[in-house]
Homo-oligomer: A and B are copies of this chain.
């Protein structure tokens, strides 16, 4: 099962929330992404079933190794792309939205190419 864009986004959000709060619950993700509780509940079930996250007895969500790797990859892309677009003069909100969409569709090869190009220029 190939990981979907939405799954990548959930994992990235969990990583961000882990850095911000002590523990991450489904409701925190729902608030962060402006999704409803049922949407998140179902999504977490899938992520758990596919080995991307763990949910303890208290409902605290954590990333597995696999989940963490994807989350970090997305987060790095997000950070880099949004910073770059903002540097180019793009409005911050638009830059963040674009980064959030591009990060899920760009290939590793293209991302790395842009990154190394930008380090040189």
Contact = CB atoms under 8 A, between A and B. Distances in A.
Interface of A: 85, 88-91, 94-95, 97-98, 101-102, 105-107, 109-110, 113-114, 117, 121
A97 B88 contact: no
A85 B98 contact: no
Contact of A98 (B94, B95, B106, B117): B106
28 contacts: A85-B110, A85-B113, A88-B110, A88-B113, A88-B114, A88-B117, A89-B113, A90-B107, A90-B109, A90-B110, A90-B113, A91-B109, A94-B107, A94-B109, A94-B110, A95-B110, A97-B107, A98-B105, A98-B106, A98-B107, A98-B110, A101-B105, A101-B106, A102-B102, A102-B105, A102-B106, A105-B105, A121-B121
A102 B20 CA distance: 30
